[in-house]
Amino acid sequence: MSTTRSITDFETKDVVIQGALAALAISFIAAIGMLGEFNNRILITSLLSLGYLAIGWIPILFGYRASAEETIEGIDPPIKGPRDLLVGGTVGAIAGIVVSAFAWLAASVDLTGVFIHTGPGMRSALTFGQGIGFGSLLMIVFCTALGVFGAALHVMTPTVRSVIGVALGTTIVIAIFEADAKELFKGFRIRGVASILYSPTGGLTIVSAAAVTALVVAIKVYGKGHGPRVVYERVKLHHTSQTPEMQRRNSWIWGAAGFAVYLVIPQILGKSLSETAVTVGLFLVLGLGLNIVVGQAGMLDLGYVAFFAVGAYGIAMLTSPFRPAQWIPQLDFWVALPIVIIVAAFVGILIGTPVIRMRGDYLAIVTLGFGEIIQKLFLSDWWKPVVGGAQGITNVPSVSIGPVEFAGANSKMVFYLVAILVAGVFVLSHRLQYSRVGRSWAALREDEQVAEAMGINTVTAKLLAFAIGAVIAALAGALFAAKVGSVFPSSFKLLVSLVILVVIIVGGLGSLRGIAVGAIVLIGVLGGPTLPGLLREFGRFKLLIYGVILIYMMLKRPEGLLPSVLRSRELHHSELTQDAWLDKAGDFEEDEEVTA
């Protein structure tokens, strides 16, 4: 039954709770210093800074959530209307009032002795630079308006919502990635566009922001039926309708085109973007390697960084002229690489053997222990005569093929090298996935006993996963050492293992596309364990955001952003069986009624 509800038909308790949660989130972001720090970064001149973006989404989200009610199956959802807007506004207003109270508290009591970021900077940001009285009023109006906006997003039809969402999103993305967009414009030799879009003091001008928004709206409204997906489908259709000979010829053309793009990309990206791309590439390789162990063979390895360290230290110990152990002969990179690969595979098997019978969480902890042991050994005085202790090994020569040198400082050149490695590991992972070994890994992951009963040698399969994963990590490590030119134990902390794990889990375990997306989104945008990403402002809050993303993904989408079909089926298996059980129970009840 559809009903129009009176304007006051809502649960006061729910609304108050939502408002309080929104206020808590805003105050939290302010108290950890994010608001104050981000406020210096202008997104749209005299309209929006990154700081207000960081808190602005909260009333919108909570306004949306509070106005949206769970629809119960079998009952028509209530008609959306002014009541929803009122709910959203109330949530926003409550949030605004509580946040203002927090600002007032920070203004009257000096909290900086404990909460170090609650000083005048945060206070003036929370009151929009005004006095506490007028500022509070502004804050309440700000939150209320955004709450109403959030509720309005819920009230409007999905089409309108998506148009508004995409338009605002695009504008904000263009504003946030100002520095990188400028680089790109420079690469495309259209620097003029940047000076039109962005004001000289930083940020989009109001006019250009409005223009971009309007343009995206226009494209969304009039460009229906010409979107990228439609074009892709058409190309695919065209491709499949061709004869094999034509396809073969075309694949040559595609290959050549791909190679041309590969040659051009770093020139367009420019130096700093190439640097980011190299970091993303290295983490992508590590992610793909860890995916073989975790995603394919189903063994949660938290010490993966150990193999990365083995690769980096191996190359450094064999090629650097300043290696601490001078009795080791100095080799060329390409001679040293096979040795490093063999050593890494051996270490992989060495670590893999004791844990062969372990599963799940104990395996995770033991591998974590191995990772820590290896890092601490590289740091220790005991191994210092060979690996240099805390000082590490410096002057690792860069890679060169014939006359071409891939010097570490020249990130454009390194990009070429990393891209080849990424492509190679990608192809390897892809081929492994459906190979005999890959299928035996899948069986192993699903059920070890059954796999063994089917004749799979679990010992060999597991050790092979460890060895291949180790070799891939060592390759990334070797390239890392040659690129950076030095290795220190501090580059191989436990944190690196965890970050790689987060990358592949957020992207989607077992899904190669997913891992690529995960690496780009997390490492590229937010930044790696030590290196900054495109959003340099996030540096200090990077790992906090990593944590939030990881928790959110585990709660809402444990299969990842771009899941592999198999994996998501595994994860939702219990839900399916539960539903089946419920259905059965329902049938049973009906039967009873009949007999009664």
Partner 1 sequence: MAAPLLIRREDETSVVSKTVSKSRAGKFRDGWVDGFLWFIRIAAILVVGFGIFRSVVMTLNGEGTSIDAWENLIVSGVAQGAMYGMLALGYSMVYGVLGFINFAHGEVFMGGAMVSFFVAQALFDNGVWESNFALSLFIILIVAVLTSTLIAVIVERVAYRPLRDAPRIIPLITSIGISFFLQYTFAGLFGEGVKTYPTPPDYLRNKVNVLGFLPIEGTKILVMVVALISMIGLYFYVQKTRAGRAMRAVAEDKEIAALMGINVDRTIVSTFAVGGAMAGVAGILWALLFRSISFITGFLPGIKAFTAAVLGGIGNLAGAMVGGIVLGLFENVGTIVVLGGLGIPGAGTLKDVISFSALVLVLVFRPRGLFGERLSHEDRP
- Contact positions toward partner 1, by CB under 8 A? 28, 31-34, 113-117, 300, 353-366, 368-370, 372-373, 376-377, 379-382, 384, 389, 455, 457, 459-460, 494, 498, 501-502, 505, 540-541, 543-544, 546-551, 554-555, 558, 571, 574, 578
CA distances for 436 relative to 319, 441, 452, 464, angstroms: 37, 9, 15, 12
Q: How far is the CB of 498 from partner 1 (least distance, A)?
A: 6
Quote the crossing angle between the two packed helices 132-155 and 158-176, to the nearest 10°. 130
Q: How far is the CB of 141 from partner 1 (least distance, A)?
A: 28
Q: Quick one: 24 or 168, whose CB is closer to partner 1?
A: 24
Q: How far is the CB of 25 from partner 1 (least distance, A)?
A: 12
The residues near 552 (Cβ < 8 Å, ≥ 6 apart) are none
Q: Quick one: 370 or 492, whose CB is closer to partner 1?
A: 370
Contact of 333 with 399, CB cutoff 8 Å = yes
DSSP three-state, residue 47: coil
Instruction: Specify which residues 400 forms β-bridges with.
Output: 405
Q: Quick one: 102 or 406, whose CB is closer to partner 1?
A: 102
Longest dimension (CA), the chain: 91
Q: How far is the CB of 511 from partner 1 (least distance, A)?
A: 16
Q: Quick one: 233 or 447, whose CB is closer to partner 1?
A: 447
Q: Quick one: 268 or 531, whose CB is closer to partner 1?
A: 531
Lookup result for tokens 């409550």: 94
d(CA 48, CA 50): 7
Contact of 284 with 515, CB cutoff 8 Å = yes
Q: Estimate to the nearest angstrom the gap between the alpha carbon of 541 and the chain centroid.
A: 14
Contact of 378 with 312, CB cutoff 8 Å = no
CA neighbours closer than 13 Å in the CB half-sphere of residue 327: 2
Contact of 56 with 565, CB cutoff 8 Å = no
Identify the helix (H) or strand (E) that includes residue 502: helix 494-507
d(CA 522, CA 549): 10
Q: Quick one: 349 or 562, whose CB is closer to partner 1?
A: 349
The identity of residue 266, as a single letter, is: P
Q: How far is the CB of 369 from partner 1 (least distance, A)?
A: 4
DSSP three-state, residue 585: helix
Q: How far is the CB of 41 from partner 1 (least distance, A)?
A: 18
Q: How far is the CB of 387 from partner 1 (least distance, A)?
A: 12
Sign of the C-alpha dihedral computed for residues 377, 379, 385 and 387 taken in this order:
positive
Instruction: Specify which residues 198 forms β-bridges with.
Output: 204
Q: How far is the CB of 110 from partner 1 (least distance, A)?
A: 13
What DSSP assignment string belongs to 344-358?
A: HHHHHHHHHTTTTT-
Q: How far is the CB of 380 from partner 1 (least distance, A)?
A: 4
Dihedral of CA atoms 286, 288, 290, 294 in degrees, nearest 10, equals: 160
Q: How far is the CB of 584 from partner 1 (least distance, A)?
A: 17
Count of C-beta atoms within a 10 Å radius of residue 106 = 24
Q: How far is the CB of 372 from partner 1 (least distance, A)?
A: 5
Q: How far is the CB of 71 from partner 1 (least distance, A)?
A: 20
- N- to C-terminal Cα distance for the chain? 31
The identity of residue 85, as a single letter, is: L
